[in-house]
Amino acid sequence: YNVAVLPGDGIGPDVVSAALRVLGAAGEAYGLRFAFSHLAFGGAAIDACGHPFPDEVRAAVAGADAVLLGAVGGPKWDALPRERRCETGLLNLRKHLGVYSNLRPVRVFEGLEGLSPLKSEVARGTDLLIVRELTGGIYFGKPSFNTPTEGVSTDRYTRGEVERIARVAFEAARTRSGRVTSVDKANVLDVSQFWRDVVVGVHESSYPDVTLDHLYVDNAAMQLVRDPRQFDVIVTANLFGDILSDLAAVIPGSLGLLPSASLGDGPGLFEPVHGSAPDLAGKGVANPVGTILSAAMMLRHSLDQGEAASAIEAAVQTALEEDPTTDLGGSRGTEAFTEAVLKALP
Amino acid sequence: YNVAVLPGDGIGPDVVSAALRVLGAAGEAYGLRFAFSHLAFGGAAIDACGHPFPDEVRAAVAGADAVLLGAVGGPKWDALPRERRCETGLLNLRKHLGVYSNLRPVRVFEGLEGLSPLKSEVARGTDLLIVRELTGGIYFGKPSFNTPTEGVSTDRYTRGEVERIARVAFEAARTRSGRVTSVDKANVLDVSQFWRDVVVGVHESSYPDVTLDHLYVDNAAMQLVRDPRQFDVIVTANLFGDILSDLAAVIPGSLGLLPSASLGDGPGLFEPVHGSAPDLAGKGVANPVGTILSAAMMLRHSLDQGEAASAIEAAVQTALEEDPTTDLGGSRGTEAFTEAVLKALP
Ligand SMILES: CC(C)[C@H](C(=O)O)[C@@H](O)C(=O)O
Ligand SMILES: CC(C)[C@H](C(=O)O)[C@@H](O)C(=O)O
């Protein structure tokens, strides 16, 4: 398998190298061969060639089977004009790969409920999946401009865009507990009323076996904190998904634990949820769990190696139970924790 | 003082009549005279005359010194077309009154931290104010439509709209701890970059004594749950404010405790944060605290009676400490709790 590896900035390289070791070991156990090509992306690419998403990377990722990304950005590049910022590079990478669905599973690991800012009895057992539309909506709608007198952004969805993300959510629900909650603001926004109508149409025509309900985004934000266990699959538009997936990411108590997958019709993009944390870079303390679990999602969703994926997930769980990473109150840094995962692999 | 009273639907009439008793008593203690005119609004108005916001109400609220609203809506009216729904009535009422700023204070009362879904040590001491822009942004921007092939909403802000809400936030910060956090998505949205530029301009030219920082909305949602005490005044656009103020409203553990004020250049609109809870209507169990505290905000912000407002707030605090309402685990319903507030007034 050809995997394009974009370590990125800050702790990105630390956590990516941990994940590559785990992928290598899982590959040996399950007879998989990987070719990893490392490429500069984000701030690292700006430093190297003035642009966060160089043409060379454009070509390489399109030809890969999957893309593994660390983290991008940092204060060093924050003052650049919008078109040369790391965030813009990331948005363009998503658009280029056509990864229209972002999957963000959020689980509270047994024994780690104490880390949550929520009361342990509220957090315990949380196991949900946010399906965020990733290449449409107000992130990309035109017109979009900013003059001295006004600012305008446009939130637009077409039928095809909503149908395909709805299908992703219903399919995911079939492999889980069979429930989808669609989140919108249909009581106020026309674009949300459209979203809701299309989701209902897909449900009725193709997924009557899945339970569908709808929540307004303000209420969804409340419910995620009041009682996250009520949710299984949540599907929502790009901006609402950005907010709700970060909100949900707080529940386990550490962003370092969380993986993500962004999927389309070509190569998928896999990255941890946390940021680049420049102050921790290279210190050997970054939590690699989110990236290792992202690599597992890559095996499952892009490379069709569900068994190897499950083995990695089980090994991470075992290693966390033995002794979590230092940021979670345990005693192991990046290296020692990664070794423990390797040891727990079959 | 002329106060237009819109009890609305569900528990609206229950909590409004409690607040009117408290207002009456505070009026006697402080020598204030009120004339209350009761008007049907929301579902009650749809039932009476087919429209959630009848012309008669339009005229009455414009001529009042302030408007006190209970709660509107319920499943009974949810299937109506958008232009006749209760939500639309509410949006039109806001627009009609020109109440461009929505103030939502969120406090965790001492001794009631246990109600919060957050760990008590995370929730304890929370005391923040969300200032939400209420008559602009994507709620009202044109074009806005929904056809069989696409849905479109437009998020637009003009300089004047952002300047005036920024001023409200900076002024509020001066009466509190002197810090404002402006929330946007300026790394992606042009309308947010515009928002940020204007807020920075108002800060530099008129409020250099206030501390200003900026957060992206996804991060703000996370931080509100991780550590709500880091915030004092949060200012944000209409849609982000809708989401963040409901999210913050979860922290005290009951929506029933929270008041709101919506202010413009004319009469202000005061209402509790909770909904109409049709199943609890008329049972004598609705928590009147949010509405009583909204009436206190009315005294302070629209009628310039800060002393009477503070007396009501202190009386509510005393009554809550003695024995909270049944929904908070106490033993008192609407009536008994209201009596306790009356007794605690000077
Ligand atoms: C960095 C930013 C452009 C990005 C987004 O808003 O999509 C980030 O918040 C995310 O969720 O991946
Ligand atoms: C009912 C709805 C239109 C309203 C809004 O979104 O503004 C409500 O959620 C609120 O926050 O007051």
CA distance A272 to A68: 9
Q: Is residue A47 part of a domain?
A: yes
> Measured from the CA of B188, which atom of ligand 1 is nearest?
3
Q: Is A287 annotated as a binding residue?
A: yes
Distances in Å between the Cα of B62 and the Cα atoms of A159, A310, B54, B211 are: 42, 64, 13, 36
Does the distance separating the beta carbons of A151 and B187 come in below 8 Å?
A: no
Question: DSSP letters along A79-129, please?
Answer: TS-GGGSHHHHHHHHHHHHT--EEEEEEE--TT-GGGSSB-HHHHTT-EEE
Q: How far is CA A78 from CA A42, A81, A83, A87, A105, in A?
A: 11, 8, 12, 9, 29
Does residue B127 sit in helix, strand or coil?
Answer: strand
C-alpha angle A69-A125-A210 in degrees, rounded to nearest 5: 80
Domain stop point among A250, A272, A296: A250
Is residue A327 situated within a structural domain? yes
Check if A188 has its Cβ closer than 6 Å to any atom of ligand 2.
yes
Q: Are residues A138 and A63 in the same domain?
A: no
Q: Examine residue A112 and state whether it is found in any structural domain, yes or no.
A: no
CA distance B143 to chain A (A): 9
* Domain match, B201 and B142 both: yes
Contact A230, A198 (CB under 8 A): no
Q: C-alpha B145: how far from its chain's center?
A: 28
Last residue of a domain, one of A198, A232, A250: A250
Nearest residue in B to A226, CA atom: B117
Decide whether any atom of ligand 2 lies within 6 Å of the B71 Cβ: no
Contact residues of ligand 1, CB 6 A cut-off: A 87, 90-91, 242; B 187-188, 218
Please indicate if the annotation marks A296 as binding a ligand.
Answer: no
Is the bond preceding A143 in cis, omega lying within 30 degrees of 0? yes
φ, ψ dihedrals at A3, nearest 5°: -115, 120
Q: Return the residue in A112, A133, A190, A230 with the most chain B beta carbons within 10 A, the one to mutate for interface testing.
A: A190
B295 is in which domain, residue-wise? 1-102+256-346
User: Is the domain of A186 the same as that of A131?
Assistant: yes
In a domain, B122, yes or no: no
pLDDT one-digit tens code per residue, B82-122: 889 999 999 999 999 999 999 999 999 988 999 999 999 99
User: Which residue in chain A has the smallest CA separation from B253?
Assistant: A226
Residues in chain B within 8 Å Cβ distance of A82: 193
Q: How many helices (H) and strands (E) does chain B have?
A: 12, 12
- Measured CA to CA in angstroms, residue B297 lies from B103, B127, B168, B266 at distances of 10, 16, 15, 15
Over residues B287-317, the pLDDT tens digits come to 999 999 999 999 999 999 999 999 999 999 9
Ligand 1, atom 9: nearest CA belongs to which residue?
A242
Our answer on whether the CB atom of A321 is closer than 6 Å to any ligand 2 atom is no
Ligand 1: nearest atom to the Cα of A238: 7
- Cβ(A225)–Cβ(A212) under 8 Å? no
Average predicted confidence (pLDDT) for chain B: 97
Report d(CA A325, CA A318) in Å as an integer. Answer: 12
Q: Can you give the pLDDT at residue B108?
A: 96
The SS3 of residue B154 is strand
Question: Is the entire prediction scored with pTM above 0.75?
Answer: yes
* Residue B78: per-residue pLDDT: 85
Report the atom number in ligand 1 closest to the C-alpha of A134.
7
A245 Cα nearest atom in ligand 1: 11
Q: What is the pLDDT, as a whole number, of residue B310?
A: 98
Final residue before a domain boundary, out of A250, A271, A304: A250
Residue A78: per-residue pLDDT: 85
Number of A–B residue contacts, CB under 8 Å: 167
Q: Based on the domain organization, do B284 and B309 belong to the same domain?
A: yes
Residue A283 shares a structural domain with residue A306 = yes
CA distance B118 to A123: 9
Distance B238 CA to ligand 2 centre (A): 10
Q: Which residue type occupies A153? A: S
Inside any domain, residue A19: yes
Residue A303 lies in a domain: yes
Instruction: Kindly tell me if the per-residue pLDDT of B229 is higher than 90.
Output: yes
> Of A269, A339, A331, A318, which Cα lies nearest the Cα of A69?
A269
What is the percent of chain B where pLDDT is above 90? 97
- Can you tell me the mean pLDDT for B197-210? 98
**CA dist., res. B175 & res. B223, Å (int):** 23
Q: Confirm whether B93 is domain-assigned.
A: yes
Are both B245 and B271 inside the same structural domain?
Answer: no
Answer yes or no: is pLDDT of B276 > 90.
yes
Each residue's pLDDT, cut to its tens digit, for chain A (346 residues) gives: 999 999 999 999 999 999 999 999 999 999 999 999 999 999 999 999 999 999 999 999 999 999 999 999 999 998 888 889 999 999 999 999 999 999 999 999 988 999 999 999 999 999 999 999 999 999 999 999 999 999 999 999 999 999 999 999 999 999 999 999 999 999 999 999 999 999 999 999 999 999 999 999 999 999 999 999 999 999 999 999 999 999 999 999 999 999 999 999 999 999 999 999 999 999 999 999 999 999 999 999 999 999 999 999 999 999 999 999 999 999 999 999 999 999 999 9
Cβ–Cβ under 8 Å, residues A292 and A22: yes
Q: Summarize pLDDT for B321-336 with one digit per residue, the tens.
A: 999 999 999 999 999 9
Q: Are residues A332 and A234 in the same domain?
A: no
Residue B112 CB–ligand 2 contact under 6 Å: no
Note whether B238 and B333 are same-domain residues.
Answer: no
- What does the pLDDT look like over B130-182, one tens digit per residue? 999 999 999 999 999 999 999 999 999 999 999 999 999 999 999 999 999 99
For the Cβ of B171 lying below 6 angstroms from any atom of ligand 2, the answer is: no
- A239 and A264 in a single domain? The answer is no
**Does residue B43 contact residue B52 with C-beta atoms inside 8 Å?**
yes
pLDDT (0 to 100) of residue A79: 86
| pLDDT at residue B300, as a whole number | 97
Q: Are residues B211 and B244 in the same domain?
A: yes
> Is A185 one of the annotated active-site residues of the chain?
yes
How far from each other are the two terminal CA atoms of chain B, in whole angstroms?
Answer: 21
Question: Is residue A47 among the annotated active site residues?
Answer: no
Q: Which residues are CB-contacts of B65 (< 8 A; sequence separation ≥ 6)?
A: B1, B2, B3, B267, B302, B303
Q: Are residues A325 and A288 in the same domain?
A: yes
Is residue B242 within 6 Å of ligand 2 at its C-beta? yes
Measured between CB atoms, which of B117, B227, B249 is closest to A122?
B117
User: Do B282 and B238 fall into the same domain?
Assistant: no
Comparing C-alpha atoms, which of A109, A111, A106 is closest to residue A127?
A106
CB B113 within 8 A of CB B123: yes
Exposed/middle/buried for residue A337 (C-beta within 10 Å: 0-12, 13-18, 19+): buried
Q: B323 CB less than 6 Å from ligand 2?
A: no
Q: Which residue of chain A comes nearest to B161, CA vs CA?
A: A150
- Interstrand relation of A268-272 and A66-71 (parallel, antiparallel or unpaired): parallel
* B146 appears as a binding residue in the annotation: no
Pairing of strands A150-158, A141-146: antiparallel
Mutate to test the interface with B, among A95, A239, A244, A258 (most CBs of B within 10 A): A239
Count of structural domains within chain B: 2
Strand order in the sheet with B150-158: A141-146, A150-158, B150-158, B141-146
Q: Is B286 annotated as a binding residue?
A: yes
Closest ligand (CA of A220) = 2
- The answer to whether residue B317 sits within a structural domain is yes
Q: Which residue minimizes the CA distance to atom 11 of ligand 1?
A: A242
CB–CB of B192 and A91 under 8 A? no
Residues of B in Cβ contact (< 8 Å) with A246: 218-219, 221-222
Residues B32-37, mean pLDDT to the nearest whole number: 97
A268 phi and psi, to 5 degrees?
-90, 160
Contacts of B154 in chain A (CB under 8 A): 152-155
Q: Which atom of ligand 1 is nearest to the CA of B187?
A: 3
Gap from CA of A145 to ligand 2 centroid (Å): 27
* Cβ neighbours, 10 Å, residue A291: 32
pLDDT of amino acid B25 = 98
Active site residues of B: 139, 185, 218, 242, 246
Q: What is the CATH number of the domain that holds A204?
A: 3.40.718.10
A280 is in an annotated binding site: yes
